[in-house]
Amino acid sequence: DTGVSQDPRHKITKRGQNVTFRCDPISEHNRLYWYRQTLGQGPEFLTYFQNEAQLEKSRLLSDRFSAERPKGSFSTLEIQRTEQGDSAMYLCASSLVGTGSEQYFGPGTRLTVT
Amino acid sequence: GESVGLHLPTLSVQEGDNSIINCAYSNSASDYFIWYKQESGKGPQFIIDIRSNMDKRQGQRVTVLLNKTVKHLSLQIAATQPGDSAVYFCAENGNTGNQFYFGTGTSLTVIP
């Protein structure tokens, strides 16, 4: 399968714990995006990378959230000191460079904070 | 921020009928729009896109119409099938062109 993959698919954690998610984009795609989606809503943009550079971050991305893409391939999204409001589906997408390039989404990681 | 919304949150159609899903967007700077289909437990799946220099684009059984004057998009699905049942989102690329803004979504149910 050459699509976008995410790991884990599901994560249950207790409030206050740290969690880390991984995204592997389509191999030739140099842009990688993170979104958050809550039930009944469309995905909300969090941040994106072009190669290893993080170029844009949403105001939604609090200081507890950090994303990396150290070698311009896979990316990680870490949430520190999780809160119940962090419970959501975290989606990763990748695309080629260029305005108007189609984004391909992964299956998402569903986070539940208890 | 951008506001992308849908007129109807739910839509039920008979199998074989045509479906029309509407979307309003607010940012006149957006120049690229995508329709996505999302099935339960899965990530959004690309259906069709359109650039602002076009007003219509056709794919296989799907057509997207863009009316920039009133900032409106629609997705038409011909001969709707049970496999088309899903939530459909429109998305616009906003001011920077690098991030996409999604609407709330329309849930399409196809009645066999």
Tell me the pLDDT band of A100, cut-offs 50, 70 and 90: low
The answer to whether the Cβ–Cβ distance between B103 and A55 falls below 8 Å is no
With contact defined as beta carbons under 8 Å apart, do B47 and B62 qualify?
yes
Please state the φ and ψ torsions of residue A79, each to the nearest 5 degrees.
-120, 120
CA distance A34 to A49: 9
Question: In the block, which residue shows the tokens 């849908």?
Answer: B6
Measured CA to CA in angstroms, residue A89 lies from A40, A56, A94, B44 at distances of 11, 20, 17, 12
B4 CB neighbours in chain A (<8 A) are 42
Residue B93 has pLDDT above 90, yes or no: no
| pLDDT beyond 90 at A7 | yes
Query: Residue A23: what are its φ and ψ, rounded to 5°?
Result: -130, 130
User: Cβ of A45 and B42 within 8 Å?
Assistant: no
Give residue B1's pLDDT band: very low, low, confident or very high (50, 70, 90). very low
Contact residues, chain B, for A106 at CB < 8 Å: 43
CA distance B16 to chain A (A): 27
Number of Cα atoms under 13 Å in the Cβ half of residue A5: 8
| Residues in A touching B34 (Cβ below 8 Å) | 102-103
What are the structural domain ranges in chain B? Answer: 15-23+41-83
Dihedral pair phi/psi, residue B80, rounded to 5°: -55, 140
A41–B51: do the CB atoms touch at under 8 Å?
no
